[in-house]
Each structure stands twice: as C-alpha cells, then as structure tokens.
Amino acid sequence: MSHLVIAGGSTGIGRDIVPTLQVRGHAITRLSRGRYAEGLDAIHRHQPIDGLLLCQRYRGPDEWEGEIATSLTATKEMLEWVGSRLMDVSIVLIVSVAAVSVEEEQPVSYHMAKAAMMEMVRYYAVTLGSSGVRVNAILPGLTIKPEAREFYDAHPQLEALYRDITPLGRLGTAADVGYLVDFLVGPSSAYLTGQTIVLDGGISLRSSWALARRVSPTLRDLPVTQRKAGR
C-alpha cells in the first residue's frame, strides 16, 4: 500500500477522489492549509510519503495575493521540500481549464495561478528528475461532483448538451480523476514526467466552429466547407 498525501482538496475533486484512491490501495493523509513544509515533515516522520497530490484552492477576499500564496508559493514550497528530502516520489498537481482558456466567472488571479502551475510542472520535472521525482498535472474538463448531481437532475437539457458535444458522450466524474491520479503515482507511469494531461472526454479536441454546429440546430446541417462546388 502506498502513502499518498493530499494538500488541500477539502471540497470538490480533491475530496471526492479519496474513495477511488483508497479502493486502488492508497493510504491517504490530508495536509491541512497553513505551514505546508512543517506539515509534510510531521507526516513523513510518522509514515514515509510515496506520492503527493496538490489541489489546494484559495477562497477569500484578497484574490491576487491570496491566490499567489496558496496556489504558487505553497506549491513551490512543497515541491522543493520533496526535492530536498525524498527520492523516487510522484507529485501530481490538479490544474484547471482556466490555465488554457478564459473562464469568465473566475478572476484573473485564478487564471494566472493555474497557468503558472503548468509551467512549474515542467520546471520541477527537469530540476528534480535526477532524484527520481516525477511531476505531472491533470487538467480536468467538466467534472460532475456529487453535490452538483441534484442540479443536473433538475436540468436534464444541460447534461444532454454536454453529453452531445463531448466525443465520449458523457460527463467526467471524480472517479475518472482518481483513476488517473492512481496511474500517475504508480509504477506504470515510471517514465512519465513534466506532462499536463487533459482529462475531458475529448471536448477540447473540437474546434469552436464544430461546437457551434452541434449546439445550434440551424448550423448543424450547413456544409462544413465554404468553398463553391467544383473549386
């Protein structure tokens, strides 16, 4: 059984993937917010750490400074703690579609932090690689959390739309994320590092035009090409 430490994630995906990870044979310790390095020291003394999942999220009034402290400074602190003390450990960061696209309901600080985390994955994969430390990230698409199930049950047309525009024909679940975390912290991914894996059922592979055609009945039957016949 491996020992996986989860930083943050008291709600949302970080909370909901725990049962899947436990079924896959991982002992889970939750690292609470605060002085992360000291917390890791205490946890590692009690039980050696085999993997680290970083999914902390800032929620508070000072968006810019708070997001930098929670998503960037704390991540840097934990990555460098691993690099200075451990070998042959896998680290997984949960990032967001806001790292690669604009999600208008989220502030600029959130977008900045998630994009910077993707670059940190690449940087630390290189600088910590000689110690056998692997660093990867997961970028989940729309993921249905248990607390949102009632909302989607009340709006079946919305879920039907998401199913239609997603190539795999369904919405993502916390278990999907958990299975990927299990792979990334396990021996089957021993030669994989520095990657951000998009876990969205293929929706990001569709162009904006293709999505518009699927969403709009008036566009769906238009010819794909705008070229005139015979040219």
Helix (H/G/I), strand (E/B), else coil: 196: strand
Contacts of 18 (CB under 8 A, 6+ apart): 6, 28, 178
Buried b vs exposed e over 52-72: b needs ≥16 C-beta within 10 Å?
bbbbbbbeeeebeeebbebbb
Catalytic residues: 110
Q: What are phi and psi of 133, to 5 degrees?
A: -85, 125
Evaluate whether 152 touches 144 at the Cβ level (below 8 Å). yes
Tokens of 124: 């630390």
Beta strands in the chain (DSSP E): 2-8, 26-31, 51-55, 90-94, 134-140, 143-144, 172-173, 196-199
